[in-house]
Structure 1
Amino acid sequence: MPPLGTTRRSLLHAAGIGAAALTAAACTGFATTGGGAMILLSTQFRPADEAQRFRALLGRTAPGVSYVTVEEGPFSTQVRSQVGAGSTKIGLLAGLHGDLAPLAPKYLQDLTGLLIDLGNRGWSPDYLQLAKSGTDRTWYIPWATASYVLAAHADALEHLPSGADAAALTYDQFLDWAVAARRANGNRPMLGLPAGPKGLLHRFTQGYLLPSFTGGQITTFRSAEAVTAWEYFRELWANCVPASTTYDFMQEPLESGEVRMAWDHVVRLVHAPERDPQNWRMMPAPRGKHGLGYMPVLAGLAIPKGCPDFELAQRTITAFTQPDRQIALLRSNGFFPAVSAAIPQDLPPAIGLEADAVQRQQQAPGAIVSLPPVGLGQREGEVSKVFQDSFRSIVLGGADIRSTLDQQARVLQGILDDLKVPCWAPDPAAELCRVE
């Protein structure tokens, strides 16, 4: 998955800049405060405008640290090669959980002591558990977060089912809402989903629908409850705008009025309410039989083994986990706080709406943290394709659900067998991940 805020126009250009900067830094030894600046290597904020905004924040927060961005593959390769060679030039790492967890414990410093020193800053227990990467030690400090939520205009909100709480919908109520909105709109659907070529609809099935219906993502992929989930998805899709197969970013059809209710990543929704925020609402995803499955996009800060300036790296993490710096990051780059921080009233209205929805989703009773695939490296796209192909066959093509899931389960298991990786949340952390 691309970093938050990555756009189609900027991804390749920004990645090229990041790789070139990293190569130059490694060749020159531009690593410590004694010889220039310590390098903060990051998979996030790769677009040039986002990198520029973050560098300005970094300069105010931790002078003496240089920000270098790079794609996920080279990120892992650089850390492994430098630490493995005993010549670490990178001082600090910033990445998503899936970028950092595979590097622990072999390539990352144990930050358990730093976490204790930082005190109780209000981190979610789920995030602190993730930072342990399946061990009893802490390998990165949770830094910032985002997620996927529902967005709806007042035109759609008036069709909510009687007695339904928009902030605590069930999947049945969500479907009833979509049906009611369609019927009230002259049989024209109001609901849209990001099922375009660059859309993130596979995250909906991975992190929301299947965990809510089955309690898992991989181990329950072909279960009887998964069949029920896909039957539900067919009904929901029948009440979606047909053009959803072309939507990559839901903010565009929402803003134009083509769609009045949608689910997507917060970065891909944020522009829709800008003109008339008083007529918009952001809401947590619905809940199912097993709870409210949701996918947090958790970013963390880690220190590679052999870091050239361990004290500066720790001070930088300490600074960026202060509530005021967390809010500054929200203002500059749209990442939400990972610590307990009061959301100010003077944020852009759309970000304020999203912040409320993200917090409600995290704190919902029975919330199920469902991660994007972890430890798959460049093969993550193959796992995402399993979910995408299942959607195309079952929902768009009308294929038999049971036989499709059995077929796709074999593809999925083949990838997992090749990589020999453990499962990720919400599935049990078995040594080798298997579809049951």
Structure 2
Amino acid sequence: MLSLTTPRPARRKRELLAGLTAAVLAAGSWAGEADTAAGGTGLRMSGFGSLGLSHVDAPAGWGYRRELTQGGSDASWRPDVDTRLGVQVNYSLGSRFELVAQVIAKKRGTYASDGDALEWAYAAYRPNADWTLRAGRVNLDAFLMADYRNVGYGFMAARPPVELYAMLPTSLDGADLARGWSHGDAHWRAKLMVGTAQIGDFHTAEPGRVRDVVGLMLSREEDGLLLRGSASRTRIELAMGGLQPAVDALGQLSALPIPVVADQARQLRARLGVADIWATFLELGLRHEMGNWQWSAELVRMSAAPLIKQSSAYATVGYRLGDWTPYIAHGRTRDAMPVTPVPAWAAALTPVLGPAAAAQSQMLGVVITDAVNRSRVHQSGWSLGARWDLHPQAALKLQWDRIRVDAGGPGLWTGADGSAAKANVATAVVDFIF
């Protein structure tokens, strides 16, 4: 990753304290409330958390992270990859109206604002049992684990598969409208979503956003088998920050009457995502529980050329043996956009710009090409693990990940170069709910 800003530990500390303080205040207000009858007014609180420790064996300088909004670190022992604490407060105003807030304290990127600790904050209206309208900051229900990806107790593995979920937004600032109905023994659900969301950093030190999101989701559940699909259309907007001078210089080079330089400069500028780029997300997912067997799989295809054109998928299978559930998982992601070749501009530019300016332009091309290639995601991984349900509200998970990063595909890592690499991640995590 090309880092262009300096860390702000004070902001990270404020964000963490804000999340914990909100959790404590929520708990204090809940303690004085009594449960109310159905259809009445009442305040309810629930919470979840994870205490994790990971050992990362990766090339020197490479920083592992669970999601792109998480700050990276090249330390070998990592307590911050999966550790988090969340509190959710539901305030019912009769049977039709409800206010919901969810606060999560976890490791975030250096650019995170204090408000990012507030994962959900919405008002819900249910005119009847079939329809629900929500407005505010809601979960982006375009993916299988959208409702519970931060609630480790709710899924089998130590973390959602990074090959897919590391790149996906967690929440949507906007609104959604859902309808549920039954047909025979099957329960169907459809949802329309609109709004904007934050994504992590691909090749800058500032977060990107997806705007003008319009999405549809349809699911069917029967006898423990959930099938779902979604389609979304959005506009990707990347913050250039300190890259803006380089963007301007590429624009000037693309206007030169030297075709080989102008074409490559124009392509590099487009790969940086400087213009509004429209993206399409298509998702298919399934989850099945059959006796002691549990398995899930999901495929997501994202098309946003010339910035990115990506396919990501995973499958997880587990078998329950009493309180233990051993499992195996495989995930992979592939970017169909090719590795950008390093430009050779010096000879062509020297007669026009002079030796010094030609050398500077050549260096610019090399640096930007490196940043673009390091933002590509081309990796796969196998996971072996076991979950022990040690308590009705707590589970211990032990997991080992073997990760292979192809050349020109380290976009999920911080501090990585463009070479091929292999890594091992061993994790122990206790997930709980309360």
Whose Rg is larger? 2
Q: Which has the higher strand share?
A: 2
Q: Which has the higher helix share?
A: 1
TM-score (norm 2): 0.29
TM-score (norm 1): 0.29
